[in-house]
Structure 1
Amino acid sequence: MAGQWLQWVRGVVTVHIRGGQPERLVNRALEGGLELSSIRWTSGGKLEFELSVGDFFRLRPFLKETGCRAHVVKREGMPFWLVRFEKRKFFAIGIGLFFVGIYLLSSLVWSIEVKGNVKLTEEQILTAAKKEGIFPMQWSFKLKDKDLLSKELVTDLPGTTWVGVEKKGTRIVIQVVESTEAEKAELQNPRHLVASNDAVITEIYTEKGRPVVKKNMKVKKGQTLISGTIGGGAYTQSVVAKGKVRGLVWYEFNVASPLTQEVKVYTGEKKTKWYAVIGSRALQVSGYGKNPFDTSENVVVEEQATWRGLKLPFGRLKKTIMEVRTDERELTEEEAKNNGMLQAKADVMLKAGNDAVILKEIVLHEKTDNGKVYMKVLFEVEQSIVEEMPLVQMQGE
């Protein structure tokens, strides 16, 4: 590695040898103390090797002796880099200023993100942060130590137990942990649990109260399942009935499903717009003009510039406007029937609750008329059938 570095400092040239006696040239040069490397024949039949800039000027006597001519095809190393730098010093200065600008921009706080707040508003937290010197366009090296900021923000924000401040590139993340208060138990009046639907009991679990039905019993809507009255006589007591009761419930639906379906199709025509993004602002740089399509969809892809793992506050955004049209697709009767069943099942789950299970589906009647499939469907569903009913106590009890 050290040898390669020294070679780069001295400068390296790659030459092609033409005419004369190339093999004798190599032997005489090596005997004369020149350091040749990467000696090889090219596909064009020319001898090629690499040597330092100093050895290149010492090669001339051997070229005359062997009748060869040398043509430089590649130059590498510090001497050539310095020459190019001299020729393009304004460009190099511009590159230097660009990287200085990048460093300065990456040293600014461009945005502040607040996480974890529930009771406190984001505005309250940002106001407290600004008081401690955290705000957009602030130099990051002017920020206080993270531990000190955390303590001061906890003091400034009543109701917090911890506030973390973390710098991620040009973004500051404020993580808030609020103090929690024990939830007060909700006061509940004595009640019965009654049936919300006509059903057949499949499961009953009583946590509090007196069960008055059993598994496999048929119950009517409004019938008491778990009573909030326990004991008897002088020892009668009213409680808040609690428990779980599930049962089989039947739903009948009339379904009408069309034999045509509207589908969205991309035509392949599109228009692309490019934007330069700086902070939260976007400046359009290409693709000007109105949307040429009657119906379209936008696909937006944003690319943020990065440097050494840091996200920089600028980048580019590509907006592709894609033309779409709506076509009508003819469905078979089976496809229309499946679509209708799916919609009916969604309606069943909406009525029965998220914990419901559809056990059976029976098509009672089916016909096709006027471009639609009509069905009468019976669903057998297992679901919770519990409904609360306040227990009204007589005055004097």
Structure 2
Amino acid sequence: MKLQSTPWMKGIVTVHVRGGKPEQLVNKALAGGLELSSIRWTSGGLLEFELSVSDYFRLRAYLKETGCRAHVTRRRGLPFWLMKAEKRLLFTSGIVLFLALMFLLSSLVWSIEVKGNVKLTEEQIRAVAKQEGLYPLQWSFKLADADVLSKRLVTKLPGASWIGVEKKGTKVVIQVVESTSPELPELQSPRHLVASADAVVTQIIAERGRPVVKRNAFVKKGQTLISGTIGNEMHSQTVVAKGIVRGLVWYQFDIAAPLTQKTKVYTGGKKTKWHLVFGSRALQISGFGGHSYEQSETIRVEERAAWRHWTLPVGRMKETVMETEIQERELTEADAREIGLMEARAEVIDKAGADAVIADEKVLHEKTDNGKVYMKVVFEVEQSIVTEMPLVQLQGD
């Protein structure tokens, strides 16, 4: 017969029987109401079976009657587990304390993420959420239902048409959908479009207004390109001039490129520190003491414990202090020249605008002196040359 699950609560022992009459022992024990299971002969010729602790004490009478001796080879069940736990009280208490701490930490709201807001600031949304009891380090069971929170937040944030609140582990995500209103056209005064720099016009497209220059014409800074006055002398009208005008503009640079280049490199020396992370706090557990590096760079890598889609507020952080040094590299004149030109090109594009194109570049003068390559360079750049000038009408005109 097979032992049921209840004897495990009382404890189960495995017994080897020696001497006497083992067969009679089994028959008499079963007839006496003892529950034996897993009855078999071992390879050593001994009879083996399992029974509960209470039945084991009742077995003694049958052992004397049949002249057998019993030896317990294995113990299992709740009583024996409790005996081991009592011997390892500190370890068991630590496990219980750890599980309790994990439960408490996972019951807190550790972070709040706001998504979808454009006009409403994150500070506004967090302030209203705090009024409803939703803030970091708040107990999850104290929060109202997500649907209730959503309705309350929408009521207190007039700029929102819908707000969703979703709890993901220890993080709460507030998804905002703002109400839309038709954009009002920007009010503009009549204006001319004038040249922002001396240039040669390469393209002119007048969407509104009257073009007054042609392609390939040379214009000076401030000269009108597209007029905001249309019509003739008898019947004229002012409009907001609009269009595209591009032209060739010249930039002159004095470049001084050094023949030595300083770069930061890692030497291979490093010191590692480990931290335990609890929410936004970190407790260092290894790698104490400073370092002797004159120059260094610190790299941090944080790992959070996760279970399925839950990210727990506990984890570890590895902090590696890497030793660095500055090394100098000798450049050829050609390399220094190219580096200087690359930096100048980047500065040109920054001044001329992202849509600018360098059409040509000319080195007017070049020399090497005192460890540097000196150059005078002129860049020919095609760019937008439009700027606005308000059109003021005189009274009586």
How high is the TM-score relative to the length of structure 1?
0.76
Distance 1:170 1:60 in 2: 58
Instruction: Work out the CA distance in 2 between the residues paired with 1:123 and 1:393.
Output: 46
- Tell whether the 8 Å contact from 1:165 to 1:173 is kept in structure 2 after alignment: yes
Q: For residue 272 of structure 1, report the CA deviation from its aligned partner.
A: 1.8
What's 2:174 paired with?
174
SS at match of 1:187: coil
Superimposed CA distance per residue, residues 136-164 of structure 1 (whole angstroms, 9 cap, x where no aligned partner)? 33332443332222111101222221111
* Gaps in structure 2 of 5+ consecutive residues: 1-7, 13-36, 48-72
Change (3 A) 1:133 1:368: same
Name the counterpart of 1:340: 340
Q: Structure 2 vs 1, CA of residues 251 and 55 (structure 1 numbering), >3 Å: closer, same or farther? A: farther
Between the aligned partners of 2:370 and 2:118, the Cα distance in structure 1 is 55
- 1:165-314 matched pairs, under 5 angstroms: 165-314=165-314
Paired letter, 2:84: K
Aligned residue identity for 2:198? D
CA–CA distance in 2 between the matches of 1:55 and 1:386?
Answer: 101
Change (3 A) 1:192 1:179: same
1:316 is matched by which residue type in structure 2? R
CA distance in structure 2 between the aligned counterparts of 1:280 and 1:56, rounded to whole angstroms: 60
**1:81, distance to aligned residue in structure 2 (A):** 11
Which segments of 5 or more consecutive residues in structure 1 lack a partner in the other structure? 1-8, 12-52, 64-74
User: The residue matched to 2:234 in structure 1 has which SS?
Assistant: helix
Partner of residue 330, structure 1 = 330
- Mapping 1:1-397, distance limit 5 Å: 54=38, 57-61=41-45, 87-88=84-85, 90=89, 91=91, 94-95=94-95, 97-397=97-397
What code does the residue aligned with 1:197 have?
A
CA distance in 1, matches of 2:75, 2:321: 49
C-alpha offsets along residues 91-115 of structure 1, whole Å, 9 cap, x if unaligned? Answer: 4564355334323321221222223
Give 2:62's aligned residue. Answer: none
- For the residues of structure 2 that align with 1:330 and 1:175, how far apart are their CA atoms? 55
Alpha carbons 1:85, 1:92 under 8 Å: kept: no
Question: Quick one: distance in 1 between partners of 2:93 and 2:196?
Answer: 81
Deviation of the 1:378 alpha carbon: 2.0
Q: CA deviation at 1:126?
A: 2.6
Q: Is the 8 A contact 2:256 2:372 kept in 1?
A: yes
Could you say if the C-alpha distance between residues 264 and 110 of structure 1 is closer, same or farther in structure 2, counting changes exceeding 3 Å? same
* Deviation for aligned residue 1:330: 0.7
Distance 1:341 1:57 in 2: 93
In 2, the alpha carbon distance for the partners of 1:78 and 1:344 equals 84
Q: CA deviation at 1:319?
A: 1.2
Q: Matches of 2:309 and 2:191 in 1, distance apart?
A: 62
When residues 56 and 366 of structure 1 are mapped into structure 2, their CA distance, relative to the original with a 3 A threshold, is farther
Query: Is the contact between residue 168 and residue 309 of structure 2 (CA under 8 Å) also seen in structure 1?
Result: no
Change (3 A) 1:309 1:236: closer
Q: Give the superposition deviation at 1:122.
A: 3.5
Distance (Å, rounded) in 1 between the aligned partners of 2:283 and 2:123: 28
Deviations 1:351-394 (Å, cap 9, x if unpaired)?
21111011222222222111111112221211001111222322
Q: Displaced runs of 4+ in structure 1, greater than 4 A?
A: 53-57, 77-86, 88-94
Following superposition, the deviation at residue 291 of structure 1 comes to: 4.0
SS in 1 for 2:276: strand
Instruction: Work out the CA distance in 1 between the residues paired with 2:75 and 2:346.
Output: 74
Q: Once superposed, what is the RMSD of the aligned Cα atoms?
A: 3.0
Cα displacement (A) at 1:55: 7.5
Distance 1:269 1:59 in 2: 62
Amino acid in the other structure paired with 1:287: G
Give the whole-Å Cα distance in 1 for the aligned partners of 2:113 and 2:184. 32
How high is the TM-score relative to the length of structure 2? 0.76
Number of matched residues? Answer: 337
Alignment check: 8 A CA contact 1:349 1:356 kept: yes
**Retained in 2: the 8 A contact 1:253–1:377?**
yes
